[in-house]
Structure 1
Amino acid sequence: MAGRHRRSTTPGRSITRAGLAPLGIASAAVLAAAPLASAAPAQPAAPAAGGLGAPPCDDSADVCVDLSRKKAWLTDDGRATGDPMPITSGSPEDPTPTGTFAVQRKERYHVSKEFDDASMPYSVFFDGEGRAFHSGSRSSNSHGCIRLDTQDARAVFAALEPGDEVQIVR
């Protein structure tokens, strides 16, 4: 029965293996490293609670906005290039449109003539109605624009150029 386990009938004695050579320092090092060598690679973490997951837009979008989740992502080939950005969008009376748009122009220090000279820093206009991504308070709905925190508005302003694709979904 060489090479097979045999249980001792004497109480307190352990299982023995016939023909087992004494364990040396080199053998101990190999055995200690063996579990690491066979460990499976780490898997990416699951999406956080709330299920933000991947941006819900086509691979062609340079920025993706999900109005129902109140989030936006800068994207490259359909993959987010950073964390989701919290947004505020239009009210039911002045909704933010859904669809695919192209960035038309950018204005670092835009002031709205239509809405009482409201400051709209880091404006990136995406439709013919004057709607834009811009920095502003997210405590209330906009008149159809996508409002972002200042650092996020700066990132969107820096990343997008005229002609870049904007996708807005609900």
Structure 2
Amino acid sequence: MSTTRNTRFPRPAVLVALVTAALALIGVGTALAGTPAAQAFRDQPLVPGTPCTVTARACVDLDSQQSWLFQDGKVVNGPVPVAIGGPGKETPVGHSLRVYRKEELHHSGEYTATNGEPAPMPWAVFFQDGGIAFHEGRTDTPSAGCVRLTAENAKIWFNHLQIGDQVQVVSAQAVHAARG
């Protein structure tokens, strides 16, 4: 008899993002601080009341566990509560992530539900390597790296975000510290 373990092996890009997030959260700075993308992030104005810039269409603050949707540099929805990744499965930080796939009825290829079936990820909007997405799910427990939203909000995020839209996942504390 064969048993299946739900072990997740992050891709190199995810590992880089996890290391970057850890460094930012302990105040050492980020490994990408001198990159053109990081400089472009610092050069753009923030959307008022959020830690993300006017170039984003979606924003996630890891510190407050909240998310927003933007249109033309203005908040059109949010803040709403979200679940983010827990210890060892942190949600990757990024200033210029992009939506690359959307699936209304996606099921995980890595995790199973209590019934042994692939775990449902309804209203999935993928924005980071390793299957990291916004999707419907519980917001009161840590995720395995995804950004989980309530059913109502997951549908709103799914309908608002389009392929190629910019997503920013940041630590508000690190953003404000970097900007003085």
TM > 0.5: yes
Contact 1:123 1:132 in 2 (8 A): yes
Please say if residues 109 and 123 of structure 1, whose CA atoms lie closer than 8 Å, have aligned partners that are also in contact. Answer: yes
Matched, 1:125 2:121: no
Q: What SS is found at the alignment partner of 1:83?
A: strand
Q: Which residue of the other structure, out of 66, 71, 96, is the alignment partner of 1:71?
A: 66
Secondary structure class of the residue paired with 1:162:
coil
Residue type matched to 2:148 in 1? Answer: R
4+ aligned runs moved over 6 Å, structure 1: none
Deviation at residue 61 of structure 1 after TM alignment: 0.1
Of structures 1 and 2, the one scoring higher in RCO (CA 8 A, sep 6+) is 2
Q: TM-score, normalised by structure 2?
A: 0.63
Alignment partners' CA distance in 2, 1:83 and 1:125: 19
**C-alpha distance in 2 between matches for 1:133 and 1:72:** 10
Amino acid paired to 2:52: C
- The aligned counterpart of 1:19 is none
Instruction: Name the CA distance, whole Å, in 1 between partners of 2:69 and 2:136.
Output: 16
Quote how far apart the aligned CAs of 1:107 are: 0.2
Q: Render the CA deviation track for 1:85-104: whole Å, top value 9, x for unaligned.
A: 11000012100011120001
CA distance in 1 between counterparts of 2:141 and 2:77 reads 25
For residues 148 and 57 of structure 2, the distance between their equivalents in structure 1, rounded to whole angstroms, comes to: 17
Q: CA deviation at 1:83?
A: 2.8
Matched ranges for 1:154-169 at <5 A: 154-169=155-170
Residue aligning to 1:58: 53
**Does residue 142 of structure 2 align to residue 141 of structure 1?**
yes
Equivalent of residue 105 in structure 1, options 101, 112, 115 = 101
Of 75-84 and 91-100, more deviation after overlay is shown by: 75-84
Structure 1 vs Structure 2 CA RMSD: 1.0
